[in-house]
Chains A and B, each alone.
Chain A
Amino acid sequence: MKLLEYQGKELFTEYDIAVPKSYLASNQSELNQIADKLQFPVVLKSQLTVGGRGKAGAILKCTKIEELVPKFTELMNKEVKGELPKVILIEEAVNIDKELYFSLFLNRGKRTYSLISSAQGGMDIESVENKVIQDISVTGLTQSDAESVAKRLNLDGITAKSFSNIVIKLAKLVREKEAELAEINPLAILKDGTCLALDSKIIIDDNSLFRHPELRKYVQISELQEQAEKSGFSFIELDGNIAIIGNGAGLVMSTLDIVTDAGGTPGAFLDFGGRATTETIYKALEVISKLSKIKAILVNLFGGIVRTDLVAQAILNAYQDGMISVPIYARISGAESEKSKEMLSNSNAKLYDTVEEAISSLVQYKELSK
């Protein structure tokens, strides 16, 4: 779960990491309520999960109160990579002397956490130069570890102290909140020498949420997503018009690739996991049926243990109940596949022996290009 900037900053505040004074507004009347309290200049920041806000013009500076409403309205209506904000963070500007980069992240290959810092902040980490990278234990990070990072960045005096305090506090946050990533970029050094987090990027381990009731308020999923998750499915909406359903995340991903290679555009990814029963397949089709943009469905099911006639029955039921009408192209390997083909012979579904055959018929379906 990727937290929005303001949510990450709420955690920073909880862990005593300094952030600018700020307010939230999600509509005009909330904005009006805070307008009088603001000390200008302020910065308006669109709260989005996608990156690249700055470049997309979704962060705007306001030097006087007259600019507040038009700029707020502009941001509320500005879509970045298909995402509209639900709320705008309004922060009072601070006196910045210098910007640093600092993050702690789960280093998957090394199976430990790594710390990255740089005396150059504010840009994308991939383009940051002179990075200091150090493997650390988030459980055993000491004051002297933190001070040595400050030293490598050539920080001294009050700044070194303030910086190493943030290192310690962020490691504590990562450990306690079970984050995969906690990034402060930029981390500002103010004119008075102290450090302050200007931005936040935190990703929480989804699988740990069951023991973090305090973070549940940050979970934002669509109704359809919720319905899919309740059935134990992994479901992702994509841009195209072909829904891809299968058993196993890797298999569905691989099918997505083959469809894309053949010129199709996937509109949904749905992995229904290990249980291919009539009921699960029906439920999977039900989730897909809620997406009006879907014009065809590809089912790729690797059998073995699965009885294909149970899958065929689910498809038949879905058509008979009027739940779906779009054609289904299915590759279902496993027991009873001849019987299944027969069951579906009068329906809008077709069974194929290989996924390649199913996909080559699918991409010729005329409605897809309309």
Chain B
Amino acid sequence: MMSKKFDIFDILVGKSDDPDYGNKPVIIQGITGNFGSVHTRLMREYGTNIVAGVTPNKGGQSFEGIPVFDSVKDANKNFGAKISGIFVPAPFFLSAVKDAVNNGIKLLVAIPEHVPIRDAMEALEYAQTNGARIIGPNTPGVIVPSVSKIGIMPSQPFTKGSTAVFSRSGTLMYEVSYHLSREGIGQQIALGIGGDPINGTNLIEAFELISDRDEIESVVVVGEIGGDAEESLVQYIEKTGFSKPVVAYVAGRSAPKEKRMGHAGAIVYGNYGSAESKISSYAKVKIPVAKRPAEVPSLLLKLMK
């Protein structure tokens, strides 16, 4: 865990007297790929200030008016961007991370799925040593509704508000936010932890990002089987006395053991990673666990009364 407090809102949105408040420059690595290009367009439509793209050997080209460079090293000379969205294929992930971290990027949003664990661990260590933070890999990204999004999430489910949604699954982050928005519960941030076994920003670190932020009044944790992230989160909540209302959901109660349920990280060995273990952990700190995504808003409204 990082010792120095990492202020994600300062990086994503900025301070109100910043000249580029709410309009922070973002670099997209892998901008000319299928995924990168589609989502660069959508992110821009949402209001994200994408200043440059990176694709090795395509430096000098441009994508819809956005200049493309061979590396972050070349791209970031003029922009001073601190945020990068990584859309490169998994085998190139590690080198993309090093390029970004070496050249001023402090927040790396890592979209690729299928990154080998060894590469993810090395990338995290590299980022950590150099004071940078990775979200993901295998994350839908992070959205600050009505300000900016870095990732692949659709924008419709999200509305501006005062809850934080942290999710280990992409579509469930959209699904739960959609149900929250329908009930009038907007989100100040929705952040995808990622579906892999190794996460650059785990649930505890996500909680640390918002624990001192008064504007955030509640937290929704969308979890799933596999690993012990939820169990560790409960220990953290017990230890720190985290006081904002929290509602949880855990997907995969009916999943068979020792089968990888789509996400590399969604697998139960014995009791390790089981839904029962997570749900009983939450019970210890009286965090209500929704049985279905649609049940999250009513549980939250009950707590907020």
Question: A356 and B294: CB pair below 8 A?
Answer: yes
Over the window 132-166 of chain B, the binary record of Cβ atoms lying under 8 Å from chain A Cβ atoms (1 yes, 0 no) is 00000000000000000000111111000000000
Given contacts A180-B117, A302-B174, contact A250 B264 (CB under 8 A): no
- For residue B227, CB closer than 8 A to chain A, the reply is yes
B220 at the interface (CB under 8 A from A): no
**Which residues of A243-270 have CB atoms within 8 Å of chain B's CB atoms?**
246-254, 256-261, 266, 269
Q: How far is the CA of A303 from the CA of B174 in the complex (A)?
A: 9
B175 close to A302 (CB less than 8 A): yes
Measured CB to CB, the closest approach of chain B to A223, in angstroms, equals 18
Docked complex Cα distance between A238 and B252 (Å)? 13
Mask of A215-257 contacts with B, CB within 8 angstroms, 1/0: 0000000000000000000101010000000111111111011
Residue contact A108 to B169, C-beta cutoff 8 Å: no
Given contacts A250-B251, A251-B169, contact A207 B116 (CB under 8 A): yes
Closest to B228 in A: A109
Report yes or no: B117 in contact with A205, Cβ–Cβ below 8 A: yes
CB of B60 within 8 Å of the partner chain: no
Complex CA distance for A192 and B186, rounded to whole angstroms: 69
Given the interface pairs A50-B258, A305-B154, the reply to whether A108 lies near B90 with Cβ below 8 Å is: no
- In the bound complex, residues from chain A placing their C-beta under 8 Å from that of B115 are 207
Write the chain A residue with the least CB distance to B293. A254
Pick the contact of B118 from A50, A178, A250 — CB < 8 Å? A178
* Interface set, chain A 75-115, CB cutoff 8 A to B: 106, 108-109, 111-112
Interface assignment of B12: CB less than 8 Å from any CB of chain A = no
A354 on interface, CB distance cutoff 8 Å = yes
- A66 in contact (CB, < 8 A): no
* A256 & B172 in contact (Cβ 8 Å cutoff): no
Given contacts A180-B117, A248-B169, A253-B266, contact A236 B253 (CB under 8 A): no
Instruction: List 26 A-B pairs, Cβ < 8 Å.
Output: A106-B198, A109-B202, A111-B121, A205-B118, A206-B264, A207-B114, A207-B115, A207-B117, A210-B91, A236-B261, A249-B195, A249-B224, A249-B263, A250-B263, A251-B171, A253-B255, A256-B254, A257-B251, A257-B252, A261-B291, A266-B254, A269-B262, A271-B262, A302-B171, A302-B178, A356-B294
